Amino acid sequence: MKETEVLDVFGNEDGADIQYKTMTWWQGAMIMIAENISLGILSLPAVLKTIGLVGGIIAILLMGIITTYSGYTLWQFRMRYPQVSSFGDVGQILMGRVGREIFGFAYVTFCVFCMASHVLTFIIAMNTLTNHGTCSIVFGIVGLVLFFLLTIPRTMKNVSFLAIASFISILAAVMITMIALGVNPLEGRTIVNAAHPNFPTAFNSVSNIVFAYGGHAAWLSFISELRDPKDYPKALMTLQAVDTSLYLVAAVVIYYFAGDMVTSPALSSASPLVSKIAWGIALPTIIIAGVIFGHVTAKYIYIRLFAGTKHLHSRGVVATSSWFAIIFGIWFVAWILAESIPNFSNLLGFVAALFASWFSYGLPGVMWLYIMKGSWFSGPKKIFLFCCNVILVLLGIIICVVGLYASGTELAKDTGGKAWSCADNS
């Protein structure tokens, strides 16, 4: 443990004004649950509508198993290299200084796109709750201010308390939607066990499942702020047990009672009154899950600026003003993106294809191959794991290339929204 305290990015925090390594494993689990079980779950019932009930269930289960293992390989890499706190650091170990910049850019871009999807969903929620009470751009500005204010706390432990409220929020919203649809199923609905969509449409739906499980980008940051990084597997297993179960139940139940009339986001599938109630209850998770992405993005930039200096643990003017400027800057960019790409499902598919494919699948496979180099074929177990991680890398490549094609095709033909429009997007 002493070696970790010396080598990790936060160093020795004894007597520091701000101490980062303070989270217990259950707090880490709650943050991971809040980050993962948020917007992604709202697109899953529509996935079953597109690829069928049976195919959707298989895809959700399979992705859950794969992402659990890939999340475990991230921890193995982090334990070998305690100085790693983000994928930017991974890039430096794998490819040197150039790798650090490429991976860092991809990491920040992915997280900002995730933040943008939360701003967009906030706008949808406000339009639903207020019957489009004002211009959608105004709701976007309100969201920008809220997200900025809630990202101000600088340690993950403080955010973890918000994460509990986030999980309760999304669970309650989904339960209300399921119960309402169960009591009053949509008349005239059609349920398909095995659908036959065209290839771009089918793969774009699979990309939404990838996004639902695609929280890996932030997990290295979470590990870095645990009191004992060895506790991470407990947090990971807690997350995956909860999210896989909830994804399956929510997707199947909502699709069964809404059928081909299901919407994405799914909270709008019930009656107008129930939808308003569900959106209102879901607001905390829409905001807090976005705040978590904002926090890890700002933390990465902040560490790049101040690692090894007195400002890293300081509450002084330079440190505080820099933190404020960083979080406002990234939320401003996220707001710009949200106003520019107003199509919910296709935005999620594009982000998943371009980035989550690597952070959740391809790169964890590469990281395992890197730390096990020289012992890939040292025994039956290693040979099996070698094959598994090669498959992870290939899966990352396939999801990225084919997913970009599929989501690009869907974006090109989608006329469901306009950029920078005051119109109701609910």
Q: What is the DSSP string of 292-361?
A: HHHHHHHHHHHHHHHTTSGGGG--SHHHHHHHHHHHHHHHHHHHHHHHH---HHHHHHHHIIIIIHIIII
pLDDT in tens, 179-235: 999 888 888 788 878 777 777 777 777 777 887 887 898 999 999 999 999 999 999
| Highest-confidence segment of 36-45, 347-356, 384-393 | 384-393
- Stronger pLDDT, 414 or 93, i.e. the higher one: 93
Does the pLDDT value for residue 93 go beyond 50?
yes
309-327 pLDDT, tens digit each: 889 998 899 999 999 999 9
Q: What's the average model confidence in pLDDT over 45-66? A: 90
Of 56-65, 189-198, 232-241, least confident by mean pLDDT is 189-198
Of 412 and 183, the one with more pLDDT:
183
Is the distance from CB of 411 to CB of 346 less than 8 angstroms? yes
Q: Which domains does the chain have, with CATH numbers?
A: 2-11+19-413 (1.20.1740.10)
**326 CB-near residues (< 8 Å, 6+ apart):** 298, 301, 302
Which phi-psi region, left, alpha or beta, contains residue 149 (left: φ > 0; alpha: ψ -120 to 50)? alpha
pLDDT band of residue 131 (cuts 50, 70, 90) is: confident
Q: Which residues contact 108 (CB under 8 A, 6 or more apart)?
A: 297, 300, 301, 330
CA distance 38 to 52: 23
pLDDT of residue 1: 39
Sequence-distant (6+) residues with CB within 8 A of 104 are 86, 87, 88, 91, 300, 304
So what's the pLDDT on residue 271? Answer: 84
Q: In 3-state terms, what secondary structure has residue 417? A: coil
Ranges 64-73, 135-144, 204-213, 325-334: which has the least confidence: 204-213
Phi, psi torsion values for 423, nearest 5 degrees: -65, 160
Neighbouring residues of 21: CB distance < 8 A, sequence distance ≥ 6: 8, 10, 13, 224, 225, 226, 227
Amino acid at site 355: F
* Mean pLDDT, rounded, of the chain: 87
Residue 340 pLDDT: 82
